[in-house]
Amino acid sequence: MKAAEIRDVSCPGYTMKVQWNPQRIVSTAARLDPASIRERPCFLCGDNLPEVQRAILYRNEYVLLCNPAPIFLQHYTIAHVHHLPQLIEPALAAFLALMRDFSPQFTVLYNGPRSGASAPDHQHFQAAPAGTLPVEADIHADGKLRLLKVVEGVEVFMAEGLGRAILVLKGARQDRVASALLKVFAAMRAVFQTVDEPMMNMLGLCREDHWMILIFPRARHRPGVYDLEGEAQILITPASVEMGGVFITPVEKDFRALDAGLVQSIFQDVSVDEEMVLRLVDVL
């Protein structure tokens, strides 16, 4: 982290930061095809952890680890003790419990297996210091949230003017928040026409027994600029941190090149459009 550089990017209506962090090249450029996943040892399994790594057992199911290539000074990975696939529905109770237990100091992050998770074969979450991701403040600006529906007593909003698709769920009861989330996932499957977990990232916060979950529905894993060649290529693999407003660039030229236009282009590439968000809310 001492070697990382951070700068602001001025975008219309929202806040963005760019971090040059060379250690993140392993995650950003990771090969995530099934063959590559099978051939490499899982770095979240207990037998493969670095020798210096220490862990705290959490609720007898997960271990709390220091992220080996941190983006924040306090950046944790919460990995299941068993080698289970990265899927949110079987782990939904753990996700909500983490939000409550880590409150108010931390925000809990989830990356779908096809939406930036560097270990799509091992169930895990991440935790970042609360308020570090700009979107946490951006959504509270006047006029940014439009209430679309109430499901199971949980309010469902759409964020507007933030450059990417964001659904926001707010509720006061954990069981109802869980039920509403399951309905959202089912609606996403119907609209995206998939039987697999819909592509998405999530941020979860719990403040004074009120849950707030931000869902970023995804259209693509990586933006078009990732596939360009030579100097035109931008090595960005958006996950929950990037969707939350901090772009991580392991390459210095990308750190210098990113401006508001590139940020907006990347968001448009990887996010679903507003029409898709409204369709899935209609299905709820």
Share of the chain above pLDDT 70, in %: 96
Residue 66's domain comprises 16-23+42-220+270-283
DSSP states of 126-170 as a string?
EEEETT-STHHHHTTSTT-EEEEEEETTEEEEEE-SSSS--EEEE
Residue bearing tokens 């959202």: 184
Query: How long is the chain?
Result: 284
- Quote the pLDDT of residue 195: 95
Mean pLDDT in residue range 21-43: 71
- CA gap 223, 57 in Å, rounded: 36
Residue 30 has pLDDT above 60, yes or no: no
- Quote the pLDDT of residue 132: 95
Task: Please give the C-alpha separations between residue 209 and each of 54, 173, 213, in angstroms, as whole numbers.
Answer: 30, 8, 13
In a domain, 178, yes or no: yes
Share of the chain above pLDDT 90, in %: 85
In a domain, 252, yes or no: no
Into how many domains does the chain fold?
Answer: 1
Cβ 14 vs Cβ 161: under 8 Å = yes
Binned at pLDDT 50, 70 and 90, residue 22 comes out as confident
Mean pLDDT in residue range 22-27: 70
In a domain, 194, yes or no: yes
In a domain, 201, yes or no: yes
72-122 confidence digits (pLDDT tens):
999 999 999 999 999 999 999 999 999 999 999 999 999 999 999 989 999
Binned at pLDDT 50, 70 and 90, residue 258 comes out as very high
Residue 28 has pLDDT above 70, yes or no: no
Report the CATH number that the domain containing residue 76 is assigned in CATH.
3.30.428
In a domain, 119, yes or no: yes
In a domain, 215, yes or no: yes
134-183 confidence digits (pLDDT tens):
999 999 999 999 999 999 899 999 999 999 999 999 999 999 999 999 99
Residue 219 has pLDDT above 60, yes or no: yes
In a domain, 237, yes or no: no
In a domain, 197, yes or no: yes
- Quote the pLDDT of residue 120: 93
